[in-house]
Structure 1
Amino acid sequence: MGHHHHHAHSHTHNDLKGRNLLISILLNIAITVSQVIGGIISGSLALLSDALHNFSDVISLIISYAAARLGKKRASSLKTFGYKRAEIMAAFVNAATLMVVAIILMKEAVKRLLEPQEIESNLVIWLSLLGVVANGFSVLLLKKDSKENMNMKSAYLHLLTDMMASVAVLVGGLLMKFYQVYWVDAVLTMLIGLYLIYMGYDLLKESTKVLMLFTPRSIVVQEIVESICTLEPVKNVHHVHIWQLNEEEVHMEAHIDFKEDIKLSEFDVILERIEEHVYHKHGINHVNIQPEFDKCDSKNVIVQD
């Protein structure tokens, strides 16, 4: 049995990521409280909807922060992978909450559209402006990490969509102030809900694939099998499993049937070539190979366990 790891970690980067999340949490708590008070006083559903979305941001950011902290915990005999999947689970939960919040917003928007109400637009304008500035700052803090981490991307999407929601509420407030078009409050809420569903669905789908141990989209199993079969004295590659553990680790296990009863030292040389190939060509950084010779088992590439 052979295995190999290629890993790279940065504790300084993780600490910075955690600090940025904490700042975003505190900012969103302040926005949520001010928007709830302002929404009740002004009677603006869009402002209350934005506050609800901000509250979901606070929850999602706390989940993301907790997951990022858990992800750094060491593995043990009872948790051999540690908490490496914590951030993927956080991304899944956050994506799901995005869509739930969206449905709630759209339901309330339909009610308000049927019964438009006069709204205190000055308060809406100032509080939505606060939301744009605070969320915009949070978006800038998390933007870099969102490109390489699914958990951070889920937090970033919550904040990005909330910033856009605040922009929409601001535009609505200005239209209500100068043109007395009160139905725009409900229409903007509906648009915010639709956008949340659009943004959340893709992240929900991607995190589900990782949790279900699906092969990463960029990897073609047959190509890997064919390339390994070109090595001498490999006869057959079968029982292949490739899955993504988290953002940093892609694992592969396979059985290799050899034409000859080779020495262990010869197998080690072949294994090293396989490890380097799949790492540099396919980004697989954990390889576990079971060598076989003249063994009677299924030779299918994919075998249901």
Structure 2
Amino acid sequence: MGHHHHGHSHSHNDLKGRNLLISIVLNIVITISQVIGGIISGSLALLSDALHNFSDVLSLIISYVATLLGKKKASTLKTFGYKRAEILAAFINAATLVVVAIILMIEAVERFFEPQEIESNLVIWLALIAILGNGFSVLLLKKDSKDNMNMKSAYLHLLTDMMASVAVLIGGLLMKYFQIYWVDAALTMAIGVYLIYMGYDLLKESTKVLMLFTPKSIEVKKIVESICTLEPIKNVHHVHIWQLNEEEIHMEAHIDFKEDIKLSEFDKILVDIEEHVYHKHGINHVNIQPEFDKCDSKSVIVQD
């Protein structure tokens, strides 16, 4: 059985970990400040922002632990190591975004019918502090969020919280200068809707990876057709393609040969297959089972 793996560099892991740690500390400070300020001022929007910030702290800790676990080596009991840890972290973080959003929206509906007078000065100052703190964290994580689902989940938590803080600041100004206190509940509802919108896509994508679905960019039939153009391949069947994590797409397949070739000949053809699927389809981990005149299902997809 042939097997090959194209490696990836992990040189940014330490930097990712450092940036996450800085963001964790900043968000702990912001959360404590907002909880105290929300209780003193009576602002639900500020307390809801604090709750979101607290979920940020938890999500960042999960992301940080996942980053550390991702460095651990494989073993006989964990043959893939902890490569799925960051995808699992992304799933948990996306799910908490949606749950927090629902809690905020329920609270907002209750407050909308019973608006309360709020100490707006405190709301304004604490919102400004949160914007600065989260803004700095967003800049720290932005680069890694582009190609890492775990870092993207942490980045989205922080970005949505920064935007929520901007909304709270606007609400504080409206309450201070126009005494429009119902805006506190309206802003909380808007924050909740936005959280669901941001969390849903990430929840869907991480679920697909955990369920071993074929990545959207991969067209199985085209891959099979292109491999069949190589000599002396007769048929490609029993194909499985899945994404292990952000960096690895795996493929396994049974390949029928037209002739009873030598093992050394198979090795040469295997190299061609590996290079072909890697450069044309981005698949970097190939596992091929060679066959000749074997009586089994020749369907491309076989239900195991």
State the TM-score, normalized to the length of structure 2. 0.99
What letter matches 1:5 in structure 2? H
Aligned counterpart, 1:145: 144
Alignment root-mean-square deviation, CA:
0.5
Aligned counterpart, 1:263: 262
Q: Partners of 1:290 and 1:262 in 2: how far apart?
A: 13
- The superposition leaves residues 49-80 of structure 1 with CA deviations (integer Å, 9 ceiling, x where unpaired) of 00000000000000000000000000001100
Q: Partners of 1:214 and 1:94 in 2: how far apart?
A: 20
Q: Which runs of 5+ in 2 are unaligned?
A: none
Aligned counterpart, 2:124: 125
Report the Cα offset of residue 10 of structure 1. 2.8
State the TM-score, normalized to the length of structure 1. 0.99
Aligned counterpart, 1:180: 179
Q: Partners of 1:282 and 1:188 in 2: how far apart?
A: 45
- The superposition leaves residues 127-160 of structure 1 with CA deviations (integer Å, 9 ceiling, x where unpaired) of 0000000000000000000001000000000000
Report the Cα offset of residue 262 of structure 1. 0.7
Aligned counterpart, 2:228: 229
SS state at 1:99 partner: helix
Aligned counterpart, 2:169: 170
* Correspondence 1:92 to 2:97: no
Q: Partners of 2:62 and 2:45 in 1: how far apart?
A: 25
- Residues 1-305 of structure 1 mapped to structure 2, 5 A cutoff: 1-11=1-11, 13-305=12-304
SS state at 2:276 partner: helix
Moved over 2 A (4+): none
- The superposition leaves residues 78-116 of structure 1 with CA deviations (integer Å, 9 ceiling, x where unpaired) of 100000000000000000000000000000000000100
The farther-off stretch of 108-117 and 261-270 is 261-270
Q: Partners of 1:10 and 1:156 in 2: how far apart?
A: 19
Report the Cα offset of residue 29 of structure 1. 0.2
Q: Partners of 2:281 and 2:134 in 1: how far apart?
A: 37
Q: Partners of 2:158 and 2:61 in 1: how far apart?
A: 13
- The superposition leaves residues 145-185 of structure 1 with CA deviations (integer Å, 9 ceiling, x where unpaired) of 00010000000000000000000000000000000000000
SS state at 1:3 partner: strand
Q: Partners of 2:112 and 2:296 in 1: how far apart?
A: 65
Q: Partners of 1:254 and 1:241 in 2: how far apart?
A: 6
SS state at 2:299 partner: coil
Q: Partners of 1:4 and 1:236 in 2: how far apart?
A: 20
What letter matches 1:6 in structure 2? H
Q: Partners of 2:229 and 2:160 in 1: how far apart?
A: 49
What letter matches 1:217 in structure 2? K
SS state at 1:257 partner: strand
Q: Partners of 2:281 and 2:246 in 1: how far apart?
A: 14
Q: Partners of 1:113 and 1:10 in 2: how far apart?
A: 49
Report the Cα offset of residue 8 of structure 1. 1.6
What letter matches 2:136 in structure 1? F
SS state at 1:98 partner: helix
- The superposition leaves residues 5-62 of structure 1 with CA deviations (integer Å, 9 ceiling, x where unpaired) of 1012233x11010000000000000000000000000000000000000000000000
What letter matches 1:9 in structure 2? S
Report the Cα offset of residue 268 of structure 1. 1.0
What letter matches 1:26 in structure 2? V
Q: Partners of 1:36 and 1:44 in 2: how far apart?
A: 10
Tell me the matched-pair count: 304
Q: Partners of 2:283 and 2:109 in 1: how far apart?
A: 48
SS state at 2:295 partner: coil
Q: Partners of 1:186 and 1:43 in 2: how far apart?
A: 12
